[in-house]
């Protein structure tokens, strides 16, 4: 199901939701891009890119083992 993983206590507002059974689904109402810098990305972007690289490597490894 949907998990409310980020709540702004000052506004009593849900800021982040995730699907627990989905490896990629994260939705935000705040703007993590405002906190990102080229050499210091927001953890949301850093972790998304890391997960995409792992997924890509897994597909590449599977293709090589099929040969």
pLDDT, tens digit, 9 for 90 and up, residues 16-31 = 999 999 888 999 998 9
Query: What's the token pair of residue 42?
Result: 């927001």
Tell me the C-alpha distance between 17 and 2, whole Å.
Answer: 7
pTM for this entry:
0.65
Closest CA to 25 of 46, 43, 51: 51
How, if at all, do strands 2-8 and 26-28 pair?
unpaired
Query: What's the token pair of residue 40?
Result: 């210091």
Backbone angles phi, psi at 19, to 5 degrees: -100, 120
What is the percent of the chain where pLDDT is above 70? 93
What is the percent of the chain where pLDDT is above 90? 57
């Amino acid at each position: 199901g949907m998990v409310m993983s980020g709540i702004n206590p000052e506004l009593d507002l849900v800021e982040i939701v995730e699907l627990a059974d989905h490896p990629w689904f994260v939705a935000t109402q705040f703007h993590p891009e405002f906190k990102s810098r080229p050499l210091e990305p927001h953890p949301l972007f850093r972790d998304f890119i890391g997960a995409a690289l792992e997924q890509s490597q897994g597909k590449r490894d599977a293709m090589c083992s099929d040969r």
